[in-house]
Structure 1
Amino acid sequence: MPHLVRERLFFGDINDAIDALTTAASTNFTHVLSVVSSASISFITDCRPGLAIPTEEVHRVVSGEEGAPAVSAVPPGRLMRVVERTGDGLRITRMAVPLRDTEEEDLLDHLEPCLDFIDEGREVGSVLVHCFAGVSRSASIIVAYLMRSERKSLEEALESLKEISELACPNDGFLDQLKFFEEMGFKVDTSSPLYKQFRLKLLGQSYKFGEKIGSYMFKDDPGLYPQSGSCQDPSKEEQHKTAYRCRKCRRIIAVQDNVVSHVPGEGESCFDWNRRKSDRPYNKEQDCSSLFVEPLKWMTAAVEDGALEGKLSCIHCGARLGYFNWSGIQCNCGSWVTPAFQIVKSKVDISTI
Structure 2
Amino acid sequence: MNSQSNLMNEISKVKSRLKNVETIVTNENGNVSVEARNNEGCFFKVREDNAKKREGFVVDLKPDFEIAKVTDHIFLGSQDVAMNEHLLKENNITHIINVSIDVPNYFPDKIVYLKLQMYDRPDTNLNDYITCINNFINETIANFDNPRIFIHCNAGISRSVSVTIAYLMLSCGMSYNEAYEKIKKVRKNARPNDGFVNQLKNLQK
* TM-score, normalising length: structure 2: 0.62
1:226-265 aligned within 5 A: none
- 2:194 aligns with 172
1:271-286 aligned within 5 A: none
SS in 1 for 2:140: helix
- 1:4 aligns with 69
**Counterpart contact for 1:32–1:92, Cα < 8 Å:** yes
Q: Give the deviation of 1:143 after TM superposition.
A: 0.7
Q: Which has the higher contact order (CA 8 A, sep 6+)?
A: 2
The CA deviation string for residues 115-165 of structure 1, in whole angstroms up to 9 with x for no partner, is: 111222334111000110010000001111111232111112111111111
Instruction: Work out which of the residue numbers 92, 110, 116 in structure 2 matches 1:28.
Output: 92
Structure 1 gap segments, 5+ residues each: 46-52, 55-84, 184-353
SS in 2 for 1:28: coil
Structure 2 gap segments, 5+ residues each: 1-65
**Counterpart contact for 2:81–2:88, Cα < 8 Å:** no
Q: Give the deviation of 1:167 after TM superposition.
A: 0.8
SS in 2 for 1:94: strand
The CA deviation string for residues 321-353 of structure 1, in whole angstroms up to 9 with x for no partner, is: xxxxxxxxxxxxxxxxxxxxxxxxxxxxxxxxx
Identity of aligned residues (%): 31
* 1:101 correspondence with 2:126: no
CA distance in 1: counterparts of 2:118 and 2:92, whole angstroms: 26
- 1:334 aligns with none
More strand, by proportion: 1
- 1:339 aligns with none
More helix, by proportion: 2
- 2:82 aligns with 17
The CA deviation string for residues 203-254 of structure 1, in whole angstroms up to 9 with x for no partner, is: xxxxxxxxxxxxxxxxxxxxxxxxxxxxxxxxxxxxxxxxxxxxxxxxxxxx
- 1:162 aligns with 184
CA distance in 1: counterparts of 2:84 and 2:130, whole angstroms: 25
SS in 1 for 2:122: coil
**Counterpart contact for 2:134–2:171, Cα < 8 Å:** no
AA in 1 matched with 2:198: D
Aligned residues: 137
AA in 1 matched with 2:77: G
Change (3 A) 1:117 1:14: same
**Counterpart contact for 2:79–2:155, Cα < 8 Å:** yes
Q: Give the deviation of 1:24 after TM superposition.
A: 5.9
SS in 2 for 1:36: coil
Q: Give the deviation of 1:106 after TM superposition.
A: 1.5
Change (3 A) 1:23 1:153: closer
The two structures, once aligned, show a CA RMSD in angstroms of 1.9
**Counterpart contact for 1:3–1:164, Cα < 8 Å:** yes
CA distance in 2: counterparts of 1:26 and 1:122, whole angstroms: 20
* 1:135 correspondence with 2:163: no
* 1:181 correspondence with 2:203: yes
CA distance in 2: counterparts of 1:115 and 1:17, whole angstroms: 20
- 1:148 aligns with 170
Q: Give the deviation of 1:111 after TM superposition.
A: 0.6
Change (3 A) 1:24 1:105: closer
